C-alpha cells in the first residue's frame, strides 16, 4: 500500500487502453470519458469480459457500473468481484436520462416491444407500464439495444437508451427522460490489475468474510463507529459453494493518509475471517 502511494503518478494517464461493457454510445463510455481525457476504449459484450481483460493485462483499466440511485446495486458486478483480483482506482457518478428511441416513421402507438438493459428497464418501470401491453425484452446494454433496433429496421419496436445513441444510430427520440425518478444517477468504478493510489484518496473499499456466528457483523460495524468512520455502502452477496456464508462489501469515507485508516484496517482484520482491500480513491464529480 505504501509502495502504491509512492510509485503512483500524480494524475491519471490521459489516453490509456480502457475496457468498457457494451458498444459505442454506452453509459460506460460516458463515464470513461469523464475520468480520462482521451481514452482508447475496447468494448466487451459482458461485465465478465471487462474483468477478464484487466486480469489478463489486455487493458490497463476497466469501467463498470456499480449501483443506480433508482434500481439499486448491479449484483452481477459484486458477484464478479469475488472471482477476480483487482483494485479500484477511481469512481464517478453520471446522471442517466433514458430516451425512448425508434426507427424513423415509428410512432408511440406502433410500439409492441421495448429493448434495453435490465437496469434501464427497472429504472423506467412506471413509464413502461403506461405503454400498456408492450413486451419488454432485456438485452446486454442500452447502447446495444439502440444498435440492434436500428439494424432490425423494425417499426413496431423501440429501445430505452441515451440521446447520444439516437444521433449515433440514426434513431428518432419519441420521448426523453422517461426514467421514473428525475434524479437518476449511476455510480461507476474504474478498476486496474495493479494497485494504484492517487493523491487525495478519501474513499476506501474492502470485502470481508465474517465469522458465521451471532454478532460478527455488529462487531465489525461497532469498530467503525468507534473510529468515527462513515459507511457509504454495505452490500452482502452469497459465497459460491458455501453453506449460506456471505461476502460483505464496504464503501468507507476516510483519508488513506490518516491514523484512523490504519486503525480501521487493523480492526477489520481482527473481526474478519478474510479481508480483501480493494483500494483507496477519489470520486470524480
Q: What is the β-pairing status of strands 157-161 and 61-68?
A: unpaired
Which one is catalytic: 186, 204, 248, 254?
A: 186
Q: Where would I find the beta strands (DSSP E) of 168-273?
A: 172-175, 185-192, 203-209, 230-238, 246-253
Q: State the DSSP string of 32-64.
A: HHHH-SS-EEEEESSHHHHHHHHHTTS-SEEEE
Asked whether the beta carbons of 140 and 121 are under 8 A apart, the reply is: no
Residue 188 is among the residues annotated as catalytic for this protein: yes
Residues paired with 248 in a beta bridge = 208, 236
Examine the residue annotation and report whether 186 is marked as an active-site residue of this protein.
yes
Gap between the Cα atoms of 186 and 63, Å rounded: 12
Catalytic position from the list 188, 250, 261, 268: 188
Q: Tell me which DSSP letter residue 277 carries.
A: E
Q: Distance between CA atoms of 275 and 265, rounded to whole angstroms?
A: 9
Cα 168 versus chain centre, distance = 23
Active site residues: 186, 188
Amino acid at each position: 500500500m505504501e509502495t502504491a502511494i509512492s510509485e503512483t503518478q500524480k494524475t491519471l494517464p490521459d489516453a490509456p487502453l480502457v475496457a468498457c461493457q457494451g458498444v459505442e454510445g454506452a453509459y460506460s463510455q460516458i463515464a470513461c470519458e469523464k475520468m480520462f481525457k482521451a481514452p482508447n476504449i475496447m468494448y466487451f459484450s459482458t461485465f465478465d469480459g471487462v474483468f477478464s481483460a484487466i486480469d489478463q493485462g489486455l487493458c490497463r483499466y476497466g469501467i463498470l457500473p456499480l449501483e443506480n440511485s433508482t434500481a439499486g446495486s448491479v449484483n452481477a458486478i459484486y458477484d464478479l468481484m469475488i472471482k477476480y483480483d483487482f483494485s479500484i482506482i477511481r469512481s464517478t457518478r453520471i446522471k442517466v436520462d433514458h430516451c425512448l428511441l425508434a426507427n424513423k416513421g415509428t410512432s408511440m402507438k406502433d410500439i409492441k416491444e421495448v429493448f434495453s438493459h435490465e437496469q434501464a428497464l427497472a429504472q423506467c418501470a412506471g413509464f413502461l407500464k403506461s405503454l400498456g401491453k408492450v413486451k419488454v425484452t432485456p438485452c446486454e446494454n442500452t447502447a446495444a439495444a439502440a444498435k440492434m433496433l436500428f439494424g432490425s429496421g423494425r417499426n413496431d419496436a423501440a429501445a430505452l437508451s441515451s440521446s447520444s445513441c439516437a444521433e449515433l444510430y440514426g434513431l428518432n427520440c419519441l420521448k426523453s427522460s422517461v426514467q421514473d425518478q428525475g434524479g437518476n444517477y449511476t455510480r461507476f468504478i474504474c478498476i486496474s490489475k495493479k494497485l494504484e493510489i492517487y493523491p487525495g484518496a478519501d474513499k476506501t473499499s474492502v470485502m470481508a468474510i465474517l465469522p458465521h456466528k451471532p454478532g460478527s457483523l455488529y462487531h465489525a460495524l461497532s469498530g467503525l463507529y468507534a473510529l468515527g468512520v462513515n459507511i457509504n455502502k454495505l452490500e452482502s452477496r452469497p459465497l459460491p459453494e458455501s453453506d449460506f456464508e456471505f461476502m460483505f462489501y464496504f464503501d468507507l469515507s476516510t483519508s488513506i493518509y490518516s491514523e484512523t485508516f490504519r486503525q480501521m484496517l487493523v480492526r477489520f482484520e481482527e473481526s474478519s475471517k478474510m479481508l480483501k482491500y480493494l483500494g483507496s480513491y477519489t470520486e470524480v464529480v
